[in-house]
Chain A
Amino acid sequence: MAFSIYDFTSFNQSIDKLLYDSLPPFWALIIEMTIIGVVFLLFYAVVGLFLVYAERKVCAFMQNRVGPNRVGPYGIFQTIADFIKLLMKELIYIKNADKLLFNLAPFIVIIASFMAISAVPFAKGLHAIDFDIGILYVIAVSSLGVVGILLAGWSSNNKYSLIGAMRSGAQIVSYELSVGLSLVTIIILAGTMQFSAIVEGQANGWFIFKGHIPAFIAFVVFLIASTAETNRGPFDLAEAESELTAGFHTEYSGIKFAFFFLAEYMNMFLVASIAATVFLGGWMPFHVSGWGGFNAVMDFIPPLIWYFGKTAFIIFLMMWFKWTFPRLRIDQLLTLEWKYLLPINLVNILVMAFMVLMGWHF
């Protein structure tokens, strides 16, 4: 079994071959599916727990505090303790709530983010699904989460929850446009929507450098829009604590509340990894054409480190936004999207298309 940290293709194929050689096809498929399911489940849980911890630590340092430091060294087991605590908390059922929809909402939120993460490429050959419409698929599936949020707010039979959900709905659908259109800018340059092909296309330079100014504008627009789409940072109107108690998840307690929280963090991870993959080259090392020695040194760093490093950088940026900018009002939020980001995006697509037409990119 050939295992290489730089290319997982042969490793995956050898596992596939081993299973299909030793078992009937049906059972091989079942076992393969189980392995992938368990791996993604663990990955999802570990990343979610780690991001909550990271957010608390980053927030603490920005506010000149220490942050969680009691459970384990530097408090790294804090979120695990919190998770166990939330699991043991009572699930309160609201008298006037719509029971079915109330229980369905956490399922929809989690399933949407889980299915979207399945398309992300982590390293060469290390991805669960590699669609030729990868980007469109991720945009489509991740936007299903808004259904869960609207259901949660509506079914709670609580006025604050309803206002929070409505705000969130208006915000997510608005900013989804900008997310999609800023990715279109890069699709024009790449000529494909398949994630693996997009990453391969950045072997001689990341798209943010290859595409000059339009690509950079698209990157900035994507960062703003995706921060808004995940209900974070200065755009967290849906759960504005000081006005709406907790927004759409006010009435949720225990583990159901934890799932909304988890989905929010995993959506942040998702948009950060999309940004890293599409604009910053994903697992592709940093290359400068002509610098042979430099490129060889960069190639020595494993792709997984590149991928997680870039993703962590963008996640850190998003946390930075959250803890330094004041919250927007709903009218400012919608003005920003419809009167600034959307026209900028449309013009930006035209500029990029013209540049590709003239061959002015690298």
Chain B
Amino acid sequence: MSAESLILFFIVGAFLVGIALLFSHFVAPTSTNPQKAEAYECGIPTEGLTWLQFNVGYYLFAIIFLVFDVESVFIFPWAVVMKELGMVAFVEILIFFFVLGIGLLYAWKKGALKWE
């Protein structure tokens, strides 16, 4: 099987959910009630908007993640050819990790890794 079969798995996954939803749509009972369509929070009516600006802490971690994830993409091909390239690859990854480590250390000292 080649890469085209990914389409197959995409379709089968969608089929699994779709057919069950369709089946449920016909079999399951429906009884509408204004109370039922309310958001379930604590039992009392919800207060204020939900879709508003959210805690910046999550955003910071997402940014740091992005930096490290892009860098880990560079590490993967390096890891595959590490054995063949030998010393050159090792020295280069040392430099790469040095820069990466400084980045992590900077974020750490700036307090970006601290949850508030």
Question: Measuring CB to CB, which residues of chain A are less than 8 angstroms from any residue of chain B?
Answer: 33, 36-37, 40-41, 44-45, 87-96, 103, 106-107, 110-111, 114-115, 118, 128-131, 135-136, 154, 156-160, 162, 166-167, 169-170, 173-174, 176-177, 180-181, 184, 187-188, 191-193, 245, 250-251, 254-256, 259, 330-331, 334-335, 338-339, 342-343, 346, 349-350, 353-354, 356-357
Interface size on B, residues (CB 8 A): 69
List 29 A-B residue pairs with CB atoms under 8 Å apart, sorted by A's residue number.
A36-B5, A37-B11, A41-B12, A90-B30, A95-B39, A107-B13, A110-B17, A115-B9, A128-B1, A128-B9, A129-B1, A129-B6, A160-B41, A162-B50, A170-B61, A174-B65, A188-B79, A192-B80, A193-B80, A250-B40, A259-B17, A331-B115, A338-B61, A338-B108, A342-B104, A346-B101, A349-B93, A356-B83, A357-B87
Q: Is the CB of A93 within 8 A of B61?
A: no
Chain B nearest CB from A277 CB (Å) reads 17
Summed over the interface, the residue pairs from A and B with CB atoms below 8 Å come to a total of 204
Chain A residues with CB under 8 A of B27: 87-88
**A88 to B13 alpha-carbon distance, docked (Å):** 21
| Closest Cβ–Cβ distance, residue A156 to chain B (whole Å) | 7
B97 touches A350 (CB 8 A): yes
* Chief secondary structure at chain A's binding surface: helix
A342 cross-chain contacts in B, Cβ below 8 A: 68, 104
Tell me if A338 and B38 are in contact (CB < 8 A): no
Q: For A87, what are the chain B residues with a Cβ–Cβ distance below 8 Å?
A: 20, 23-24, 27-28
Which residues of A are found within 8 Å of B79, using beta-carbon distances? 184, 187-188, 349
Name B residues whose Cβ lies closer than 8 Å to a Cβ of A: 1-3, 5-6, 8-18, 20-21, 23-25, 27-31, 34, 36-41, 46, 50-51, 54-55, 57-58, 61-62, 64-65, 68-69, 72, 75-76, 79-84, 86-87, 89-90, 93-94, 97, 100-101, 104, 108, 113-115
How long is the Cα–Cα vector from A245 to B46 in the complex, in angstroms?
15
In the docked arrangement, what's the CA distance between A180 and B77, Å? 13
In order of increasing CB-CB distance, the 8 nearest A-B pairs are: A331-B115, A114-B13, A111-B13, A95-B37, A187-B79, A158-B39, A37-B12, A173-B65
Give A193 to B78 CA distance when docked, in angstroms.
11
Residues of B within 8 A of A36 (CB): 1, 5, 8
Least Cβ–Cβ distance between A266 and chain B, in angstroms: 11
Q: How far, in angstroms, from A325 to B94 measured CA to CA in the complex?
A: 37
Residue pair B115, A191 in contact (C-beta under 8 Å): no
A87 and chain B: residue at smallest CB distance? B24
Q: How far is the CB of B23 from chain A (nearest CB, A)?
A: 6
Residues of the A chain whose Cβ atoms lie less than 8 Å from the Cβ of B100: 346
What residues on B are CB-neighbors of A350 within 8 Å? 93-94, 97
With the chains together, A339 CA to B115 CA distance in Å? 12
